[in-house]
Amino acid sequence: MVADEHQPSASIEIPLDKPLPDYDLTELEQPTPRDIDSILVSQGFRDLVDDARGVLMDLLAHPPSQPNSPENANLDFTHSPPLPLELVQLTGAICPGDDEVYRPGLWIVLSDPHAKAKSPLNPSTQERIHLIADEFVKRLQLL
């Protein structure tokens, strides 16, 4: 995750490191970015992006619990849950790999619509985005 320095948003790039046979995505390492383009427009990749959108929207609506956050304290009736983040972009990405190979990946941009404009995300929101990204990867079995 890379948080923007001058906006309340962050980007997440997730390279596909293992084959995903359920999406007909089996040969992921390619020698040129042009070869990745053909993967990004395939039906299997489009299906992955559709499934990814559903998982991500669920995680944005019901984010994973943050350790040591007030909403996890027993019988704390005074704290409200964090305000939801907004999905700005979810698309395919060409991810450079080792040894001059490229892989397809997912590019996600999330923002905090309730934060002050032209200011960075606060640390707890950055932590929440990390937890969402980790759970996202687990649910889609991308690792």
Domain parsing of the chain, residue ranges: 2-140
Q: What is the pLDDT of residue 143?
A: 82
Q: What pTM does this model have?
A: 0.87
Rounded Cα distance, 143 and 139, in Å: 10
The string of pLDDT tens digits covering residues 62-107 is 998 876 655 444 555 555 666 789 999 999 999 998 888 999 999 9
Across the strands, what pairs with 94?
Answer: 104
Q: What is the pLDDT of residue 74?
A: 52
Q: What is the pLDDT of residue 121?
A: 95
Q: What is the pLDDT of residue 41?
A: 97
Helix (H, G, I), strand (E, B) or coil at 129: helix
Mean pLDDT (whole number) for 133-139: 97
Q: What is the pLDDT of residue 65?
A: 83
The string of pLDDT tens digits covering residues 11-66 is 999 999 999 999 999 999 999 999 999 999 999 999 999 999 999 999 999 998 87
Helices vs strands, H then E, count in the chain:
3, 4
Rounded Cα distance, 140 and 52, in Å: 7
Q: Which amino acid is at 138?
A: K
pLDDT at 140 over 90: yes
